[in-house]
Structure 1
Amino acid sequence: MKSKKYVFLAIWLLHALIVPAQVNVTDSHSLSEKIKNNQYFAFVKAKALGVMKTGFNAGDGYREVWIRDYNTFIELAAQVYPKEVLKENLLVFFRMQGDDGNIIDGFTPAEKIGKGETDFSYSKLEPRYAGHKNTVETDQETSLVQAVYKYIQLTGDKTILNEKVGEETVRERLNRAMDFLMNHRFDKQYGLITGATTADWGDVQPEPGWGVDLDKNTHPAIDIYDNAMMVVALNNLIEMNPSANQKWSKIKTSIAKNCRKYLWDDKHQKFIPHIYLKGSPFPADFDENKIYYFGGTAVAIEAGLLSRKEIKASLEEMKKRVQQSGAASIGLTLYPPYPDGYFVNKIMNPVYSYQNGGDWTWFGARMIQQLVKYGFAEDAYEQIQPMVKRVKDNNGFYEWYSVDNKPRGSGTFRGEAGVLYEAIVMMENLKK
């Protein structure tokens, strides 16, 4: 009897080892077939390529070429433009770099600037364009570093680093851009990058005024998006320029560590919205930590700040909050939204408007990319479906979507086209 017991045990163990492997193979094959036969993927890719051929401005509602946008569609642009065109767009940002190292948000042809428009900068190195900078953001410099890195990965052209812009090389200017952040946007107490108070990755502050410029009303704060972008940029800079490793490696490691120490709420498995340096712009009884930031979390995953277990927990929290909100996808900016009136700028009101709870594929598809990267391919496939479906349903790419999934904002939004295209390509390239 005893020997039979061991035989049965051995058979059970063998079965336990073999069956999961068989299931995984079947699941993998099934996912591969689903990706191959998806009715939306081919449409979205073709539509994205068509949109990219029409220009580099962010969308129909924007005349500027924005670096935070260009960083997210340069992979798509590489499919339809020669590397010289991609490179020239990047060099414009360097020609218009500030004396203190700061990078503009975007550039637009100087002749298109109307009388009375004064919020622009100009450079002798680039007389064709006028530059604009939303100073409440702290992602222009990091976006440019990331875009140059992607350019090199896409084209193999490392010569851009030695390109002379004025008296400096691009390599030197990249370092100066990072120096700007350390000199003007770094809080020594927390060891983290700072910016104005905004909604997650947004570029509108809650205080009076138009809301895009640092001013006397600004409440400086620290958030995960700006710091995760910094970690990604420093990883890219060190890889592009190994000689910079000694200077930037310790800073990158310290910022990553402090993101976990001060911004990650381990109990609730989420990032807190803000650390306020001079008080909050919101009422004292407002519990801001109830708000979940979707976009900043996705970029934090890209920066390698979360474990695989935490990534899965983050996804489940996103799905839960999407269901609670009634939105269509995990492109949801944040949930719950800030109460109506908490942001003076009307674009952020009522709730679920623009960056205050709008549904942005521009960031949602970045989360899809990270799910693929970290081995959650089935989840990625499931979560991308509402994003690709609405491209087909609306016959195009829109800046954001309302809580009831209606297109809003700028049409022909290239940021959405770029991140969706890349997410689909990543799925199609999964090992069969």
Structure 2
Amino acid sequence: MKLTAIYGFIAVFFLSFSAGAQKQDRKILAKRILADARLDSVQKKALKLLDGFSAGTSYNEIWIRDFNTFIKGSLKVRPKEEVKTKLLMFFKIQGNDGNIVDGVVESSKAQVGYDYRYADLLPGWAAHKNTVETDQESSLVQAVKKYIDVTGDKTILTEVIGGKSVLQRMEDAFVYIRKERWSEKYGLVTGATTVDWGDVQPETGWGVSINDKTKMAIDIYDNAMYVMAINDFLAMKPQGYKTIENWQGIADQVKKNVRKHLWMKDVQKYKPHLYLNGSPFSKNFDEDKILYGGGSICAILAGFNTSAEVAAINKQLVAAAKKEKHATIGMTVYPPYPVEEFPNMKAYLYQNAGDWTWFGGRMMGALVNFGMVNDAYEEFIPMVDRTLANKGFFEWYDVQTGAAKGSGDFRGEAGVMYDAIALLKNWAETESKHK
């Protein structure tokens, strides 16, 4: 036998052996997931909580950014018509320029210091918009897509509100971002400077509203959410429906510009901010060293990264978590902004390096999509154990003490965990059926 043939035989043997070993590993992992009673317990607790719609015990409002992440669970325990009605509320109080509010609340409970708006189409309700953020429009479109995915009810798209269909109103929301929150120079979505996906700006004062001190910037989170929303809109619009813009072309351009202006290839991470009217931070502060967890996870879900880059981002998230005693990959940013740079939020408080399963749990979908299921399971379990230990779902966790913080009965966390567990179980069930 010739030497080349021998080498070829050896190569085929080892490839076959490797493939067989990987298949066996997947079978073992699938069995572990399906047998893990902790997942069943958390999912059951989540569904019990998702019987309501407000964000949590500290909130009277239905927030669209939260509702978008627990709507699938809601549809398991509430009638679809009720869930549909809650979604349509956001369109009924939509701004004339297409903007979407953050939250809706019964008028009698509109007692926080927001600038409330009211609409004849939604009597008895008030609404508010945190103007520093640019994810409300994208969150609503994504929520409509999830509603259709679960129910199959596409009639929501042709529902007419104030003379416009929901389809038209979703496009109006996209147009609002293009007109009011857009950088022509960079071809990207803009917003005020906040911590990653957060809705509080550095300057002291009422941190959720743009003011004369606000520094406008571009970040990865807003752009990833926008592209995901466009992709969802294009996937659910009826065939033959004529759009007012080439949304696919816009989404493609955003992805291209994200890669050009925000992705730092040499360090395999996203630049925190690209500033448009100056930075709010001191000249000696190197913001680019901060890892943005939530925005990076959303970027992966939006399809901005390769498999190798996903692995690199995940490695950084895991490494950051290991530096704090009680952290998971849900830690918002790392390291945190020092108080001298971010007076409105001290280090390790809330969005400034607090640990949010609400976002960390979304990484499970990103990892599973790229075949990194073992990583997903191993990184998710600390979140599961923490939820069980605290006997409930909380808004965020202190990475230094492990204490549960913020709102209790936080439905955003419950929804994300429900979806992550469903995803892992679905993978495991599919894998276990393969011979």
Deviation track 1:118-172 (CA, whole Å, cap 9, x = no partner) reads: 6211011101210011000000000001001111111111111110111111111
**Counterpart contact for 1:58–1:66, Cα < 8 Å:** yes
| Secondary structure in structure 2 of the residue aligned to 1:78 | helix
Residue 310 of structure 1 is matched in structure 2 by: 309
In structure 2, list runs of 5 or more residues that go unmatched: none
Q: Which runs of 5+ in 1 are unaligned?
A: none
Preserved contact between residue 293 and residue 317 of structure 2 (Cα < 8 Å): yes
Q: 2:424 aligns with which of 418, 423, 427?
A: 427
| Matched position secondary structure for 1:306 | coil
Match of 2:365 among 366, 369, 390: 369
Q: CA–CA distance in 2 between the matches of 1:21 and 1:31?
A: 15
Once the two structures are superposed, residues 14-33 of structure 1 have per-residue CA deviations (whole angstroms, 9 ceiling, x without a partner) of: 42122112211210111011
Alignment partners' CA distance in 2, 1:107 and 1:229: 21
Q: For the residues of structure 2 that align with 1:355 and 1:96, how far apart are their CA atoms?
A: 28
**Structure 1 position 155 matched with structure 2 position 151:** yes
Aligned partner of 1:142 in structure 2 is: 138
2:387 is equivalent to residue 388 of structure 1? no
Is this contact kept in 1: 2:114–2:128, CA < 8 A? no
The answer as to whether partners of 1:325 and 1:336 remain within 8 angstroms in 2 is no
What does residue 106 of structure 1 align with? 103
The structural deviation recorded for 1:206 is: 0.3
Instruction: Spell out, residue by residue over 1:329-370, the C-alpha distance to the aligned partner (whole angstroms, 9 max, x if none).
Output: 10010101001232232xx21x11100000000000101111
Instruction: Answer whether contact 1:325 1:335 (CA < 8 A) is retained.
Output: no
Displacement of 1:246 in angstroms is 5.6
**Structure 2 SS opposite 1:426:** helix
**Aligned-partner Cα distance in 2 for 1:285–1:196:** 21
Normalised to the residue count of structure 2, the TM-score between the two structures is 0.95
**Matched residues in 1 for 2:331 and 2:308: separation?**
22
What is the aligned partner in structure 2 of residue 23 from structure 1?
21
Cα distance between partner residues in 1 of 2:7 and 2:295:
49
Q: Which residue of 1 aligns with 2:205?
A: 209
Asked if the contact 1:103–1:141 (Cα under 8 Å) also holds between the matched residues in 2, the reply is yes
Taking only aligned residues, the RMSD between alpha carbons, in angstroms, comes to 1.5
| Pair 299,117 (structure 1): closer, same or farther in 2 beyond 3 Å | closer
For residues 395 and 114 of structure 2, the distance between their equivalents in structure 1, rounded to whole angstroms, comes to: 26
* Mapped partners of 1:117, 1:267: distance in 2: 44
Q: In the alignment, which residue of structure 2 is the partner of 1:416?
A: 413
Normalization by structure 1: what TM-score?
0.96
Which shifted more, 313-322 or 190-199? 313-322
Instruction: Give the corresponding residue for 1:278.
Output: 277
Q: Which residue of 1 aligns with 2:248?
A: 249
Corresponding residue pairs, total: 425
Pairing of 1:232-271 with structure 2 (within 5 A): 232-241=228-237, 242=239, 243-244=242-243, 247-271=246-270
Paired position in structure 2 for 1:324: 323
How far off is 1:12 after superposition? 2.2
Residue 406 of structure 1: how far off its partner (Å): 1.7
**Aligned equivalents of 2:200 and 2:235: distance in 1?**
33
Q: Displacement of 1:117 after TM fit?
A: 4.9
